[in-house]
Amino acid sequence: MINEDFWQYQNAPDGWPTAAMATCHFTMMMAAGEQAPSSINGVCESIDPDGDATIWTASIDPSTGIGKGNLVNGTGKYKGVQAFPTFQTTFQIDAAHSIYDFKW
């Protein structure tokens, strides 16, 4: 599943914008006969309003919808930065677009 998402950063680290757009590639693991996923994982690319890019990995707990992110690499202000926010969908626009709130 590929999504185009809007990320809102609550308590963003100093120098970071309060929001960014991201493209996420999600894989859902589903056991035979089950209707709900047992695992949701993703890789996301984001470019912020300043033009700086990031690559993230994500793991979402299907029972709570709360995810854990890991900033893998970035350019500009993100180069060499470690970040491990939690995030959650706050609004599902349609099947391929969501709004997420990130917290540090």
Cβ–Cβ < 8 Å for 22, 45: yes
Query: ∠39-74-67 over CA atoms, to 5°?
Result: 25
Q: How far is CA 99 from the centre of its chain?
A: 10
Where are the chain's structural domains?
Answer: 2-27+38-103
What is this structure's pTM?
0.89
Segment 55-94, tens digit of pLDDT: 999 999 999 999 999 999 999 999 999 999 999 999 999 9
